[in-house]
Each structure stands twice: as structure tokens, then as C-alpha cells.
Amino acid sequence: MVSVPEIWKEVAVADNIIELKGLTRRYGPFTAVDSLDLAIEKGEIFGLLGPNGAGKSTTILMMLGLTEPDDGTVRVCGFDPVSDPVEVKKRVGYLPEEVGFYDDLTGMENLVYTARLNGLSSNAARIKAGKLMERIGLDAEKAKKTGKYSRGMRQRLGLADVLIKDPEVIILDEPTLGIDPAGVKEFLELIVGLSREQKITVLFSSHHLHQVQQICDRVGIFVAGKLLAVGDVKSLAAQLFRGEDRPAGSERKDYSLDDIYFRYFEGGVDHE
């Protein structure tokens, strides 16, 4: 008789850094996440797509151990967030949708605080925070209180805040909301660069289809707590638009993520 954790070890060999099995979370009669299975490989950039209230944020909270699943199992970096939340949170950086900082501290002080919570000495924390401020282009603003930061600056500081713990996985929940187009481009390039350079796995949850298409290796389409499709954009398109020559009413040759996404919601695909 093999116990459940041992089976898990067997399954986890495939270098999957995030593994969700039959994950379910209910709020009263409402099922926010419905027996979700998902595996994300190390080093990939995975896009989580879906309308509001599809259960994306709940799934993310369960990966971090901030919400307990009603059913199913989660494995992140080989740890179970339900029983080992601290080990998971040592390795996973999470940038929430609207990241908050202590407004009466400077950007630098906020970063140093996070670094010290992650077990750095205050000197090491200061050096590292300084380097990160430079990297995200906030070097000139590091002595300014975060209360005076613009939305885009806060978001970039949020990224630095995530990076200061040298994460293996970064989870970004709508990170580009409210940043201007140039800022978005810079932000996305930074993420892609980091992921490729340091083999950081990125889970990118967003409504912005073209952003997701731009940076993600694979995407998962999430509707009403269920994962409807997983794969890279090309194979999803090939699956969906078999026999169609080009997007309807368009001159383009390739299918974009928009086409795929809307196909799911126009009832063109059987959800079961």
C-alpha cells in the first residue's frame, strides 16, 4: 500500500514546479474552483486567462496557502501550502492585483522591510534593495514615501518586492492594471528577461489577451472554476479552428489569443 505523499513524489518527477490535482473550493453553494488539474513546468511563463470571478484569484490564494482548498491537493516547489505555507512562501513571490505599501515609509524602507522578513540582515537587505531599485528604474525615487508614488511606480516597486526574496516562482495577478503603455512594455520585458535569465517560473493572470499572448509560453483558459483549455497559442488555435483558413472577417493568417478566447465564449466550443 503506497501512501498518498509517496505517490506525489512519483508524479512530481516531471519537473513540475506547480501541480494542482482535483482542486476544489466552495463558498457556500457557490463553487469558485471546480476540481482543477494543472501542472506548470519550471521556467515557463504561464498565462491564466478568464473573465472576472472565474476563480483565478482563489486558485492563486490556494497555491500560497492563504485559503484552504475544500478538496484536492496543491504542490508548489515540492511543498504542500496547506501544511507548509512558510516553505512555499519562501520560494514564491506574489504580486497581488492592487499591491499595498506602507505609505509613510519610503520605497526603499518598504523593500528593506520585506527583505528582512525573508531572513536577510539589515545590511544585506539595504544593499539588495538598492540594487533592485536600480533595476526597476526607481533609483531616483527611492527616498520618496510610497504614498507619493504613482500607480505605475507602485506596481514596479511591487515587482521589486517580489524579487527581493529570490523567488523560484512569481505569481502576478493583473500586474499591468493602470500602467501606461510604455510602462507595460517595460514591465513585461522585465518579467520575460528575468524568467529567461534566472529560470524563474511565472504565473501571469490577466484579462489583457495580447499581453498574455506576447509573453506566455502556455496559457490556460479558466471559466467558472474550470480549466477549459491548456496549451500554447498555436496548438490551441489548431485545435479550435480546424478546417478554417483564417480568422473570420480578418486578413490575418495566424489566429490570435483573442480569437481563441472569444471562440470559447461565443459557444463555438462545447464546454464539456
Partner 1 sequence: MSNAVVSIKTKTARTGERISHPFRVIVEKEMADHIRSWRFIILIAIIALTSLGSLYTALANFSQAVKPNDPEGTFFFLKLFTITDGTMPSFTVFISFLGPLLGIALGFDAINSEHNRGTMGRMLSQPIHRDYIINAKFTAALAVISVMLMALGLLVMGAGLIFIGIPPTAGEFMRVVFFILLSILYVAFWLNLSILFSVLFRQPATAALSAIAVWLFFSVFYPLIVNLITKSLAPSEMAAPQTIIAFEQFRLALLRLMPNQLFSEATTTLLMPSVRSLGPLTMEQMIGALPGPLPLGQSLLMVWPQVTGMAAGTIISFVISYVLFMRREIRSR
Binding positions for partner 1, 53-92, rule CB under 8 A: 57, 61, 64, 66-67, 85-87, 89-90, 92
Among 23, 33, 75, 113, binds partner 1 (CB under 8 A): 113
Among the listed residues 149, 65, 138, 39, the one whose alpha carbon sits nearest the alpha carbon of residue 99: 149
Report which of 151, 139, 77 is spatially closest to residue 111, judged by C-alpha positions.
139
* Sheet strand arrangement including 218-223: 92-95, 169-173, 201-206, 45-49, 218-223, 226-231
Footprint (CB under 8 A) of partner 1, residues 198-217 = none
- Our finding on whether 29 is near partner 1 (CB under 8 A) is no
- The backbone torsions φ and ψ at residue 117, rounded to the nearest 5 degrees and listed phi first, read -65, -25
The answer to whether 143 contacts partner 1 (rule: CB under 8 A) is no
- Min CB(32)–partner 1 separation in Å: 11
Q: Of 82 and 240, which has the nearer Cβ to partner 1?
A: 82
Query: 119 burial class (0-12, 13-18, 19+ CB within 10 angstroms)?
Result: exposed
Q: Report in angstroms the alpha-carbon separations of 175 from 120, 197, 241, 265.
A: 26, 20, 31, 24
Q: What share of the chain is helix, strand, coil (3-state, %, to 5)?
A: 40, 25, 35
Nearer to partner 1 by C-beta: 111 or 237? Answer: 111
**Is the CB of 88 or the CB of 260 nearer to partner 1?**
88
Asked if residue 24 binds partner 1 (CB under 8 A), the reply is: no
In the bound state with partner 1, the residue whose beta carbon lies nearer, of 75 and 89, is 89
Q: Does 97 bind partner 1 (CB under 8 A)?
A: yes
**Binding string to partner 1 for residues 146 to 185, with x set by CB under 8 A, is what?**
------------x--x---x-------x------------
The answer to whether the Cα torsion of 49, 271, 28, 52 is positive or negative is positive
Q: State the pairing for strand pair 201-206/169-173.
A: parallel
- Does residue 264 interact with partner 1 by CB under 8 A? no
Closest alpha carbon to 53 in 29, 31, 23: 31
Check binding of 100 to partner 1 (CB under 8 A): yes
Size of the site for partner 1 (CB under 8 A): 38
Q: How big is the chain by its Cα radius of gyration, in Å?
A: 20
* Footprint of partner 1 (CB under 8 A): 57, 61, 64, 66-67, 85-87, 89-90, 92-94, 96-104, 113-114, 116-124, 126, 158, 161, 165, 173
